[in-house]
């Protein structure tokens, strides 16, 4: 595996001084470990804490210098275990706080989820956190079986205003579809892959929420090719081409680390 880029963000580049990563009920543990590894390559003037639901206390955080991260997991579990925290999280961001979500966390943070469980059954749910004022729709990759609720693949994406694309893992991930014309968001990363249905291009969005900012991602930027044990994954998810996913992710570590740094820098940037 190539050595990923090491990036040091200065206190002049980012206002973030404290980072709280939710690692409680509903979280997919590998999402946390991959985020932790990304932070080992993108360093900054912050302290990082992993917290459970009872420690999600945004009313005690300084919104001007705190980032709350909701990793990949099961959105319906977040509905249960973070239900009592929603108003406080929303107030924290509106007062200037920073919020980042991954995959299932982004379904939870969107106004609406439209999620296809099987070819005959679709889950539609409205949620009140609503950092993205629209629909998180997924999963995006067609399946060869009737059960398509948790499909994996390496898809090509690109950062806004650039031409270079990079394969990134999605695992049940979707796209963000706005309700009409929403001036309070912008697309940071878009899909550029033949596997993705037409009209579903927004992979990562940045929303302006009061005085704060929320970035919602469908992507698992932290997965390297070395994380994909083809024989093991074939055993548990036999309807996926794991050899192809492994090969697609090879040699992309540096660019994906740079994408993660770009996301963190985007919290301090103004509207496009």
pLDDT over 60 (residue 2): no
Question: Is residue 41 a part of any domain in this protein?
Answer: yes
128-161 pLDDT tens trace: 999 999 999 998 876 666 665 567 889 999 999 8
The arrangement of strands across the sheet holding 185-191 comes to: 47-51, 18-22, 66-70, 98-102, 212-217, 202-209, 185-191, 152-159, 165-171
- Mean pLDDT over 166-193 rounds to 89
- Scan for tokens 């946390």, then name that residue: 32
The residue count of the chain comes to 272
Has residue 132 been placed in a domain? yes
Q: How many CA atoms lie within 13 A of 180 on its CB side?
A: 1
pLDDT band for position 121 (cuts 50, 70, 90): confident
Which of 183, 262, 179, 161 is closest to 221 using CA atoms?
Answer: 262
Q: What Å distances lie between residue 51 and 19, 193, 243, 250, CA to CA? A: 10, 36, 35, 32
Determine, yes or no, domain membership for 192: yes
For residue 248, pLDDT beyond 70: yes
User: Which of 81-85, 118-122, 212-216, 249-253 shows the lowest mean pLDDT across its residues?
Assistant: 118-122
Domain extent for 215:
7-266
pLDDT value for 47: 98
The Cα 203–Cα 158 span in angstroms is 9
The pLDDT confidence band at residue 180, using thresholds 50, 70 and 90, is: confident
CA angle 163, 165, 170 (to 5 degrees): 145
> Structure pTM?
0.95
Q: Is residue 271 a part of any domain in this protein?
A: no
CA 223 distance to own-chain centroid: 12
How many CB atoms lie under 10 A from the CB of residue 112?
18
Tell me, yes or no, whether 133 lies in a domain: yes
Asked whether residue 2 is assigned to any structural domain, the reply reads: no
Residue 198's pLDDT band (cuts 50, 70, 90): confident
Number of domains in the chain: 1
pLDDT in tens, 22-59: 999 999 989 999 999 999 999 999 999 999 999 999 99
Domain-embedded: residue 161? yes
Quick: pLDDT tens for 55-104.
Answer: 999 999 999 999 999 999 999 999 999 999 999 999 999 999 999 999 99
* Residue-wise burial string across 8-23, b where 16 or more C-beta atoms lie within 10 A, e elsewhere: ebeeeebbbeebbbbb
In-domain check, residue 120 = yes
Q: To 10 degrees, what angle do helices 29-41 and 253-266 make?
A: 90
From the list 124, 101, 226, the residue with the least C-alpha distance to 173 is 101
- What Cα–Cα distance (Å) separates residue 146 from each residue in 43, 142, 242? 43, 10, 19
CATH no. for residue 79?
A: 3.40.50.880
pLDDT at 161: 85
């Amino acid at each position: 595996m190539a050595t990923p880029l090491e990036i040091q963000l200065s206190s002049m580049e980012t206002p973030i001084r404290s980072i709280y990563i939710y690692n409680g009920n509903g979280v997919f543990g590998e999402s946390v470990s991959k985020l932790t590894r990304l932070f080992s390559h993108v360093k900054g003037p912050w302290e990082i804490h992993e917290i459970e639901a009872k420690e999600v206390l945004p009313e005690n955080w300084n919104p001007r210098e705190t980032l709350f991260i909701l990793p990949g997991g099961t959105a319906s579990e977040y509905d249960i275990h973070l239900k009592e925290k929603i108003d406080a999280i929303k107030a924290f961001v509106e007062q200037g706080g920073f919020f980042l979500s991954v995959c299932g966390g982004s379904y939870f943070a969107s106004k609406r989820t439209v999620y296809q469980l099987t070819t005959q059954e679709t889950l539609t749910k409205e949620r009140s956190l609503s950092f993205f004022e629209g629909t998180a729709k997924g999963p995006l990759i067609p399946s060869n079986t009737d059960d398509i609720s948790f499909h994996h693949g390496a898809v090509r994406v690109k950062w806004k205003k650039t031409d270079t694309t990079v394969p990134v893992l999605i695992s049940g991930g979707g796209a963000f579809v706005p309700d009409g014309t929403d001036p309070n968001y912008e697309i940071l990363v878009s899909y550029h892959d033949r596997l993705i249905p037409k009209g579903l291009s927004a992979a990562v969005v940045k929303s302006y929420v009061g005085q704060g900012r929320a970035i919602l991602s469908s992507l698992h930027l932290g997965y390297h090719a070395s994380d994909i044990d083809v024989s093991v994954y074939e055993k548990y998810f036999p309807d996926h081409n794991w050899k192809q996913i492994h090969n697609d992710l090879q040699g992309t570590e540096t660019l994906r680390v740079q994408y993660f740094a770009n996301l963190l820098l985007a919290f301090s940037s103004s509207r496009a």
